[in-house]
Amino acid sequence: MNWNFDNSYSRLSDVFKEHIEPIAVKNPELVLMNKDLVEELNLDFSKIDKNVLAALFTGNILPEGSNAIAQAYAGHQFGHFTMLGDGRAVLIGEHLTKNNERYDIQFKGSGKTAFSRNGDGRAALGPMLREYIISEAMHHLNIPSTRSLAVAKTGEEIMRETPLQGAILTRVASSHIRVGTFQYVAARNKKDELEILLNYVIKRHYPKLINSNNKALDLLNVLIDKQIDLVVNWMRVGFIHGVMNTDNMTISGETIDYGPCAFMDTYDPKTVFSSIDKMGRYAYCNQPAITKWNLSRFAECLIPFIDQDENKAVKSATEIIETFGKKYEEKWLKMMRTKLGLLGEDNKDKFLIVDLLTWMHQNKADYTNTFCHLMNLKDYDDELYKDDNFQKWKKNWLERLKLNNNTQENYTKLMRSVNPLVIPRNHKIENALEKANDSNLKPFNKLLEILKAPYELQENISDYLKMDTSFKDYKTFCGT
């Protein structure tokens, strides 16, 4: 095994983590391994026996150079502050690729840690496979995301409402440092500890800021941009994260924690899938506002480094946080223009976009497929688009396209680069998981293959392209 570990986080003081020995599992069995990602990480498991791989991806064998830790963090969960930490995850180490890119290798569902509170530290097969397929789908949609390297069954039952098969996901991330990591350290009220974290993050993720005059302020600025880019991407494809607590927001700008997330079918800005999100805090349309709220919590942690005078520091941080609205609006508008193939800027563009979204909402149109219809793709025709109001809107859109002063080929190419032709439809995910639970991975692997090429026309996949109306009231669960 050619792991190349260099565990910088575990060298930080014990404030930030607990060392841990992963608990051996009873009967490891490899379910899936992501061969593309294995290669991208410059790993080579080709000569390794399947049983050894199963032992590896359940933590029964720890690779040389690894050093398992559970990371400490806190977080605002649905607005309430709590001390948390890796309650069912262990970071086995940081692997360096040939190009010196650093990736956390983490097991999720590998047993109790010092941060488990009342949990059992375990995870079930269904939710781990769900994270695997959705995180990989996000990656192939060109959206920054943690990745999934493997899923292995533990051969143990875990108790939820019913007994379920235990499993471990190997998650790969450019780091697992969260807004909540800063909140954890800030809550301890020791400036020197916070400074260690700040410098560590800058060195690891934003080395351009090493010589900055005000690292904290610059980091805040950079993270605002990163997180806006991320949420704009989510809005682009209709992704609803579902549990945007501050502990589930990374400092790297990658999507993390695929619990109750799902993709919107019918366009409705208030869409919520998570069964516990009764107030719709994390609804589709609230995601930008929550991103800003989370960034404000991040800014609070940085106050001691922004200015020695606390009032001045708060003022500077507030000013930066208040740039969020305008920046978001600009980036969202740019993204929506691209979805509609609009080149240049016309001051009526926003109305044109909002008119389409309003029509989609009123007519219960499918978000993904409406853009596919506008790209003139077969398979996406629907009686719905004969509607007079849609046709009127389309006329205005075609008028606006004339202002592009460019060929149809060019603007269609642009549209094709941002409008997915296929998304992980809820019924397909559920069906794949149900079959996988009975050891039939065929539907799962087929869906995974299709989701690897979301912008390409694929033959014979028409039943992957439409929502199943019996999933109209689909609900998701945190899957703990």
Task: DSSP letter for 366, please.
Answer: B
Query: Which residue, chain included where needed, has tokens 């949990």?
Result: 119
Residues 297, 303, 308: CA angle, nearest 5 degrees: 170
Of 28 and 253, the one with the shorter C-beta distance to Mg ion is 253
Alpha helices in 189-272 (DSSP H): 191-205, 215-237
Q: How far is the CB of 280 from ligand AMP (least distance, A)?
A: 18
Q: How far is the CB of 296 from ligand AMP (least distance, A)?
A: 20
Q: How far is the CB of 162 from ligand AMP (least distance, A)?
A: 15
Q: How far is the CB of 233 from ligand AMP (least distance, A)?
A: 20
Phi/psi for 308 (5° steps) reads -65, -30
Burial of 11 (0-12, 13-18, 19+ CB in 10 A): exposed
As beta bridge partners, residue 431 has none
Identify the residue among 122, 226, 281, 416 touching ligand AMP (CB under 6 A): 122
Work out whether 248 is an interface residue with Mg ion (CB under 5 A): yes
Sequence-ordered list of residues with C-beta below 8 angstroms from that of 85, at least 6 positions apart, any chain: 18, 70, 71, 72, 73, 113, 114, 115, 184
Q: Which does 87 bind (CB under 5 to 8 A by kind): ligand AMP, Mg ion, none?
A: ligand AMP
With CB under 5 A as the rule, give the number of residues binding Mg ion: 2
Task: DSSP letter for 208, please.
Answer: G
Query: Which residue, chain included where needed, has tokens 């302020």?
Result: 217
What is the amino acid identity at position 396?
N
Q: Among the candidate windows 248-256, 264-272, 354-362, 379-387, which touches Mg ion by CB under 5 A?
A: 248-256
Of 176 and 205, the one with the shorter C-beta distance to Mg ion is 176
CA neighbor of 371 nearest in space, from 331, 348, 406, 342: 342
Of 86 and 136, the one with the shorter C-beta distance to ligand AMP is 86
With CB under 6 A as the rule, give the number of residues binding ligand AMP: 18
Length of the chain: 480
Please count the other Cβ atoms lying within 10 Å of the Cβ belonging to residue 125: 24
Q: Under a CB-based contact definition with an 8 Å cutoff, are residues 91 and 66 in contact? A: no
Q: Which does 111 bind (CB under 5 to 8 A by kind): ligand AMP, Mg ion, none?
A: none
List binders of ligand AMP among 315-374 (CB under 6 A).
Answer: none
Q: How far is the CB of 123 from ligand AMP (least distance, A)?
A: 7
Active site residue 247: yes
Sequence-ordered list of residues with C-beta below 8 angstroms from that of 378, at least 6 positions apart, any chain: none
Encoded tokens for 242: 């579902």
Q: How far is the CB of 272 from Mg ion (least distance, A)?
A: 18
Q: Among the candidate windows 116-124, 209-217, 320-328, 336-344, which touches ligand AMP by CB under 6 A?
A: 116-124
Work out whether 248 is an interface residue with ligand AMP (CB under 6 A): yes
> Binding marks (x or -) toward ligand AMP, 75..94, rule CB under 6 A?
---------xxxxx------
Of 73 and 284, the one with the shorter C-beta distance to ligand AMP is 73
Q: Among the candidate windows 19-27, 219-227, 228-236, 242-250, which touches Mg ion by CB under 5 A?
A: 242-250
Give the span between the Cα atoms of 233 and 104, in whole angstroms: 23
Work out whether 257 is an interface residue with Mg ion (CB under 5 A): yes
Of 248 and 287, the one with the shorter C-beta distance to ligand AMP is 248
Give the span between the Cα atoms of 282 and 275, in whole angstroms: 11
Whose CB is nearest to ligand AMP? 119
Q: Which does 370 bind (CB under 5 to 8 A by kind): Mg ion, ligand AMP, none?
A: none
CA neighbor of 87 nearest in space, from 114, 59, 126: 114
Work out whether 119 is an interface residue with ligand AMP (CB under 6 A): yes
Of 276 and 335, the one with the shorter C-beta distance to ligand AMP is 276
Q: Which does 67 bind (CB under 5 to 8 A by kind): Mg ion, ligand AMP, none?
A: none
Of 176 and 400, the one with the shorter C-beta distance to Mg ion is 176
247, 257, 277, 366: the active-site residue: 247
Q: Give how far the C-alpha of residue 181 lies from the chain's centroid of Cα atoms, to the nearest Å.
A: 17
Q: Which helix (H) or strand (E) holds 151?
A: strand 147-159
List binders of ligand AMP among 253-282 (CB under 6 A).
Answer: 257, 259
Three-class SS state of 122: strand
Query: Which residue, chain included where needed, has tokens 């260690």?
Result: 196
Q: Among the candidate windows 48-56, 115-123, 356-364, 388-396, which touches ligand AMP by CB under 6 A?
A: 115-123
Q: What is the largest CA-CA distance in the chain?
A: 66
Q: Under a CB-based contact definition with an 8 Å cutoff, are residues 238 and 255 in contact? A: no
Q: Which does 166 bind (CB under 5 to 8 A by kind): Mg ion, ligand AMP, none?
A: none
Identify the residue among 18, 29, 120, 387 touching ligand AMP (CB under 6 A): 120
Q: How far is the CB of 107 from Mg ion (least distance, A)?
A: 14
What is the amino acid identity at position 307?
D
Phi/psi for 326 (5° steps) reads -65, -45
Q: Which residues are part of the catalytic machinery?
A: 247
Q: Which residues bind ligand AMP (CB under 6 A)?
A: 84-88, 115-116, 119-122, 243, 247-248, 257, 259, 478, 480
Q: Which residues bind Mg ion (CB under 5 A)?
A: 248, 257
